[in-house]
Structure 1
């Protein structure tokens, strides 16, 4: 795997999100706990809502446009037809967030 340093964990507020712009598009980083961060697509598949502006609860995010709820662990939508967002491996090392560049390069177009 090829790991890309995308910032420090303290750059993301607890139960908040930040967007990382990549060559393949925007990836949202969601901080769900003091030492827990998930990486996923920033666009809701329903209407393209910015998930980074949604509400983070537990290990889920709710789309700010139409309230679809996505698991940050699996990307699956709850209670929605064919709802799925792409998730990416992310590591935390000495406070730095490392995104899997290999998985990112395999990202499919939205």
Structure 2
């Protein structure tokens, strides 16, 4: 995998987010209370709301538009809702957040 250095861990507030502009569109970086870092396409699978403006709790984010809860580890909506925000692999190395930019695979 080709890891891209994007920011310092401290640049993402705990229980908050930061948006990265990429050639693939906006990517929301989320940081949990235990310093887990997750990257999702910054669009809720429901109506395209900006997940980066949602509330982070545990390892989920709640979309600010219609309160859909999205799991940060998988991008999957929490039942009974159904859908998925594209997830990007992340890691933290020496206090720096890195991610892999993969193209979103479209299914027919």
Q: Do they superpose with TM above 0.5?
A: yes
CA contact under 8 A between 2:15 and 2:57: conserved in structure 1? yes
What residue in structure 1 maps to residue 104 of structure 2? 107
Q: Please identify which structure carries the higher strand content.
A: 1
Q: Is the 8 A contact 2:14 2:35 kept in 1?
A: no
Return structure 1 stretches of 4+ with deviation > 2 angstroms.
79-82
2:25 maps to what in 1?
25
**Does structure 2 retain, via aligned residues, the 8 Å contact 1:68–1:80?**
no
Partner in structure 1 of residue 69 of structure 2: 69
Using the alignment, how far apart are the partners of 2:34 and 2:96 within structure 1?
13
Q: Structure 1: 5+ residue runs without aligned partners? A: none
Q: Equivalents in 2 of 1:80, 1:100: separation in Å?
A: 30
Length-normalised TM-score, structure 2: 0.91
Number of equivalenced pairs: 106
* Structure with the higher fraction of residues in helix conformation: 1
Structure 2 segments unaligned to the other structure (5+ residues): none
In the other structure, the counterpart of 1:94 is 94
| Correspondences of 1:54-65 after superposition (within 5 Å) | 54-65=54-65
Per the alignment, residue 3 of structure 1 pairs with: 3
